[in-house]
């Protein structure tokens, strides 16, 4: 298992990059359908996708090009139908990189010989990272994780991280000490229900809210 510190840097759609992307793909669809694009249509497309990350939007345009079979410029709704899938794919990549970051963190800062098992200069993990790490067995266990259990830990980390983000656990954690205790109890419950994966994580979190 080769950890990496490289985290996905999801870009926000600046006006220039965003408009350039939309114009480029609209031109591609127009050429593919042998159609002209009016200025009104260009403006409509530019306004329709604002707020969507550039990488996600680009992936949605590509999916539309691969699946659209009608000799017309695809409607805006057709492109938007692919955005969720593109977002989910981007999320998978991001969470895999979060796992790599956790592996690197454990190798750098976690050791049973340290006081409390953690190096004094170890940075704090984000609330969602802490939640998912505990669901994967905890930092101490991960430091000595048997090779044949790594995939188990990875899957549970991914499921817990997805659940934490879906229910915005980080917002709960930032409300005070009581919320931090809630996280701890949820994490313990998640560790007992690992077989049920992300669905079980979500159900447990909803029950506690």
Secondary structure in 3-state letters for the chain:
CCCCCCCCCCCCCCHHHHHHHHHHHHHHHHHHHCCCCCHHHHHHHHHHCCCCCHHHHHHHHHHHHHHCCCCCCCCHHHHHCCHHHHHHHHHHHHHHHHHHHHHHHHHHHECCCCHHHECCCCCCCCHHHHHHHHHCCCHHHHHCCCHHHHHHHHHHHHHHHHHHHHCCHHHHHCCCHHHHHHHHHHHHHHHHCHHHHHHHHHHHHHHHC
Q: Is the pTM of this model over 0.85?
A: no
Digit-by-digit pLDDT tens for the chain (209 residues) are 443 333 333 344 468 899 999 999 999 999 999 999 999 999 999 999 998 889 889 989 999 999 999 999 999 999 999 988 888 888 888 899 999 999 999 999 999 888 888 999 999 998 889 999 999 999 999 999 899 999 999 999 999 988 887 765 445 444 445 445 555 555 555 445 543 444 454 454 445 44
Give residue limits of the domains in the chain: 15-81, 88-208
């Amino acid at each position: 298992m080769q950890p990496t510190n490289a985290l996905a840097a999801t870009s926000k759609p600046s006006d220039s990059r965003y408009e350039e992307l939309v114009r480029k793909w609209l031109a591609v669809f127009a050429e593919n359908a042998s159609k002209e694009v009016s200025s009104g249509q260009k403006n409509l497309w530019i306004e329709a996708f604002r707020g969507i990350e550039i990488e996600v939007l680009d992936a949605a345009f590509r999916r539309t090009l691969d699946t659209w079979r009608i000799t017309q410029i695809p409607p805006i709704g057709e492109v938007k139908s692919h955005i969720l899938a593109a977002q989910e794919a981007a999320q998978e990549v991001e969470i895999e990189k979060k796992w790599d970051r956790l592996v690197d963190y454990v190798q750098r800062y976690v050791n049973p010989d340290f006081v409390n098992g953690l190096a004094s200069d170890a940075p704090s993990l984000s609330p969602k990272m802490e939640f998912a790490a505990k669901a994967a067995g905890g930092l101490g266990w991960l430091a000595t994780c048997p090779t044949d259990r790594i995939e188990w830990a990875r899957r549970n980390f991914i499921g817990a991280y997805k659940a934490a983000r879906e229910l915005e656990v980080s917002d709960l954690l930032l409300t005070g000490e009581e919320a931090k205790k809630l996280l701890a109890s949820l994490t313990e419950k998640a560790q007992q229900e690992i077989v049920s994966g992300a669905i079980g994580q979500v159900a447990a979190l909803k029950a506690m809210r």
